[in-house]
Structure 1
Amino acid sequence: MENNRKIIAFINNQPIFSNYIENLPCNIQLKSRARALRKAGVLSEVIFWLQVHKGMFWKIDFDRQRIIGNYIVDFYIKTLGLIIEIDGASHNNKEKYDQKRDDYFISLGLKIYKISDLRVKHDLNNVMIELEKYITKEFGKKT
């Protein structure tokens, strides 16, 4: 990584440095599926989206239902190369699939942050505080 990474935001007065990953693969055939997922509106994803859309979370830009390779991720922060997954019942009994998917994302240089569906619904304030701490820890220092 280059030493002069751009500051993309400040969280609690701490600079957050860009970790943009260029040329991510994208299976364009998943475009209509991603659009359908956005429209379907899983409750926990909608709740989370209302906290982060339009730069409401420290002026950081989030994408919803982003295609990366042959996968669709819940949320993606392109300036950080950070995937945010909200894990609900759809992830039950899919440990091998999820691990393969995670390994693929990591091989691209992406980071993954997982949040449980129940926590978004019942502990949103702490979820957002923990996300702030994670981003500050991972992207708040130059490497």
Structure 2
Amino acid sequence: MKELARSLRKNQTDAERVMWQQLRNWLLLGCKFRRQQVIGQFIVDFVCLEPKLVIEIDGGQHADQQQYDQSRSHYLQQLGYRVLRFWNHEVLQDTPAVMEAIHLTMLELKEAVKA
């Protein structure tokens, strides 16, 4: 699995590349994100281990595998992760809106940890 994750990091989609530029180097609320990270039996596109947020960037093939994506999201939620999914075109065409959604979710998760 680790070799596959490494290969995926080297062969990012355009949307993943754009998203990584936004998330890397602790840029979002001082949180560290990892890309193509193994969690259990899956490799997630991006994860912030604290406060347990997974971000998935979906291409057209995901329209045909909704059942798989739902079971995968359910598995991650059982581990305590919040899962956000965005389509490639959302990331590429409206990056600020995607980042705002991620930012608001991060704030919500941080507040929940404090409570």
Output the TM-score relative to the length of structure 2. Answer: 0.92
Q: Which amino acid aligns with 2:104?
A: K
Q: What is the deviation of 1:90? A: 2.8
More helix by percentage = 2
Q: What is the deviation of 1:31? A: 0.5
For each residue in 1:75-130, what CA deviation from the matched residue of structure 2 results, as whole angstroms up to 9, or x when unmatched?
00011111111111131210111111111111111111112211110001111112
Instruction: Determine the structure 2 residue equivalent to 1:115.
Output: 86
Instruction: Determine the structure 1 residue equivalent to 2:11.
Output: 40
2:30 to 59, 65, 69: 59
Question: Where in structure 2 are there 5+ consecutive unaligned residues?
Answer: none
Output the TM-score relative to the length of structure 1. Answer: 0.75
Instruction: Determine the structure 2 residue equivalent to 1:8.
Output: none
Q: What is the deviation of 1:72? A: 0.4
Distance of 2:61 and 2:21 partners within structure 1? 21
Instruction: Determine the structure 1 residue equivalent to 2:52.
Output: 81
RMSD (Å), alpha carbons: 1.2
Q: Which structure would you say has the larger RCO, counting Cα contacts within 8 Å and 6 or more residues apart?
A: 1
Distance of 1:102 and 1:73 partners within structure 2? 10
Asked if residue 103 in structure 1 is aligned to residue 83 in structure 2, the reply is no
Instruction: Determine the structure 2 residue equivalent to 1:128.
Output: 99
Contact 2:51 2:109 in 1 (8 A): no
Asked if residue 93 in structure 1 is aligned to residue 64 in structure 2, the reply is yes
Quick one: percent identity of the two aligned structures?
Answer: 32
Corresponding residue pairs, total: 114
